[in-house]
Structure 1
């Protein structure tokens, strides 16, 4: 498959176009964000706006009906949406993470190429079922297994989290390759709505990210075997999913933190107008919080750079140092987001604490608190500490 190389001017023009399309979605997302949060309901209006802006297929190759968007374009949309409705932003990010698995590993399959065309034509929403009850939240371990039946397969999974599963048009699900396979010998399959049945087991009444509707289900399906991706899930996770997830999640969290800082800045400016010639209480803390936001941005941009470089070198993409960098990106960004929002609340004081104030960062704080739990930071740090024993030391700014 030929890949069209875009010039710098073409990339810049495409980025502007994506921003314009995303701005229309952000307006809708902002309008309903409070209601989505209050009622813990799915942001149907924002999803419809995403479909009308034709952003669900933006990552898919042009010859399959998409825009061929790069990860930086998608990350920017995540940040824009994160400033207005974190749940909408996270749903969009999770959809794009699943799409990345298809774009990176499904182009040699006729069925998966056809499915990517359908994503673009019908603006299908993809969900993920990569976690399972009984494995302690470890995505790289499965109890359930593929059960072949001729040209079909059955799959039964106790999925303790399928974000927006009842709304999705398809679910990308992991399982052991077969009943004899080890827990880490996994595959990923695309299962379409109508090929599976969901029986709700766990509700979603949470502190934040309430609109993602990340309920738990018993998943039962019967689908054609051609819908199973050829590559082992270990390769899919390591070569595309890990980095894409941590970059896009970080971009959502950056959007949350950025809007919290914007509200704190607005508060300080208004205080300064009331008392000309004086520096308001909180101005120094705001300066420090802005510096933290800038460091968070630099971490995400470095992650994007490292991933784009690594994609040109399979050895680097599978290296210990790259895995450490991507895992540290997630830990750093998730920690920074909550810290920055907390600083914004200290700047704004009771006005930021209130729910009925234009300076309120209450929802920002609750949404940001989820960041450290989306693959628990303690689990990630534990895994990284093992990699440290075999990883190489960073000795260059550019390599």
Structure 2
């Protein structure tokens, strides 16, 4: 009889196999999703049907207990078909991690996780905010208003990706209206517990299918739906590593699709002149090296997180935070370099929108990566740590 590890590995291979079939569905609609800036409903109908939304939920609560490596691979696979689909899936799983890493001892949260697995709920995030806070998750203007056993919350200027399509939203705010801006909590609210008023449309160059419109959020729910763990701990111990690793996996998927189109172009050129190596083959060799570097970066990051996830001190250490930030920064820059290099290989056929080697959508989506969480702000945060942090050059961690 196979051991537990072997059974888990076989289960995860089956999940990835399903994702590869869904990526074909995503790819078939990717151009329309991008052109119309609409939610990739066909892909997410398939993800729900194949029960891939709740895979991080523990098995005892109805999920698959999937590893970070498995979820990262699925993010990459989906992004190879449609970057918006991969990005939405990654953001959903980042929110799921807040539950699985911090809420397993809470009765209501365990019940909600069962619902996530049973009903294949799509989770969204409301951490951005107006009033000058923007995308800085460490700050908030709004605060929880307590009313007996319930709480109410109004949050303005939220940019909520796929907010109108989500089944539940995990939202952050100050613990109380008078609490310091950094003293935040995160609450879980289902769609029937809040109202979204759209205040701005998502009209961007890339990642258009994420439907990241602006909203004013107004909600009311029982206070037990506020996660007990302070948001600062959730952010440091799960959101930061999951966000950087899963987003890097999405960008790896975008880069891999660009490389695949470049490979197809070079093979087509080689068939035109049997026995002669196409001039673009040398650039392709260089491109594959860049892709391998990006892959190694993501894989090493996943391995480091898996080894650190049970050690709260390591997860909150300066060195770990710097390492995770470095992965996000390197991957977001690397995908742009890879797609641009692919353009040089495919030439005008990569530039054309009506070509099988078209890289236009890949470039638009890739260019979003350095600005999604603002690379300059991350570099600023890291620079503030350098006075007290000594870089560890060891290859053993």
Cα distance change on mapping 1:6 and 1:219 into 2, 3 Å: farther
Task: Give how far 1:274 is off.
Answer: 1.1
Q: Find the partner of 2:354 among 349, 353, 356.
A: 356
Deviations 1:142-162 (A, max 9, x none): 000000011111101013310
Distance apart, 1:199 and its partner CA:
0.6
Aligned length: 395
Structure 2 equivalent of residue 83 of structure 1: 80
- Which of residues 237, 244, 247 is equivalent to 1:246? 244
**Correspondence for 2:280:** 282
Counterpart CA distance in 2 for 1:131 and 1:154 is 18
**Cα distance in 1 between the residues matched to 2:282 and 2:288:** 10
Aligned residues: CA RMSD: 1.2
Structure 2 counterparts to residues 161-240 of structure 1, below 5 A: 161-240=159-238
Which stretch has the larger CA shift, 387-396 or 370-379? 387-396
Q: Which moved more, 1:150-159 or 1:14-23?
A: 14-23
SS of the equivalent of 1:221 reads strand
Residue number in structure 2 paired with 1:109 = 106
TM-score, normalization by structure 2: 0.98
Who is 1:21 aligned against? 18
Kept in 2, the 8 Å contact 1:129–1:159? The answer is no
**Matching residue of 2:35:** 38
- SS of alignment partner, residue 140 of structure 1: coil
Q: Which residue of 1 aligns with 2:127?
A: 130
- TM-score, normalization: structure 1? 0.97
CA distance in structure 1 between the aligned counterparts of 2:251 and 2:5, rounded to whole angstroms: 28
Q: CA deviation at 1:87?
A: 0.6
Query: Once the two structures are superposed, what CA deviation does each residue of 1:227-264 show, in whole Å capped at 9, x if it has no partner?
Result: 00000000000001100011000001100100100100
Cα deviations by residue, 1:160-218 (Å, 9 ceiling, x for unpaired): 31000001000000000001211000000001111111111110111011110000001
Deviation at 1:330, TM superposition (A): 0.3
Partner of 2:371: 373
Aligned to 2:292: 294
Give 1:26 shift: 1.2
Q: Alpha-carbon deviation of 1:313?
A: 1.7
2:49 pairs with 1:52: yes
Q: CA deviation at 1:11?
A: 3.1
Partner of residue 71, structure 2: 74
Is the Cα–Cα contact under 8 Å of residues 56 and 65 in structure 2 kept in the other structure?
yes
Alpha-carbon distance in structure 2 between the residues aligned to 1:228 and 1:255: 34
Unaligned ranges ≥5, structure 2: none
Task: Flag structure 1 segments of 5+ consecutive residues without an equivalent.
Answer: none
- Quote the residue 2:97 is aligned against: 100
Instruction: Note if contact 1:36-1:43 (Cα within 8 Å) is conserved in structure 2.
Output: yes
Q: What SS does the corresponding residue of 2:155 show, helix, strand or coil?
A: strand
CA contact (8 A) 1:28 1:45 kept: yes
- Mapped to 1, the partners of 2:50 and 2:351 lie a distance apart of 34
Structure 1 residues 296 and 161 mapped into 2: Cα distance closer, same or farther (>3 Å)? same
Instruction: Give the structure 1 partner of residue 118 of structure 2.
Output: 121
SS of corresponding position for 1:194: helix
Say if 2:102 and 2:234, in contact at 8 Å, map to a contact too. yes
Secondary structure of 2:164's counterpart equals coil
Pairing 1:148-167 to 2, within 5 Å after superposition: 148-167=146-165
Matched-pair contact (CA < 8 Å) for 1:162–1:216: yes
Q: What residue in structure 1 maps to residue 267 of structure 2?
A: 269
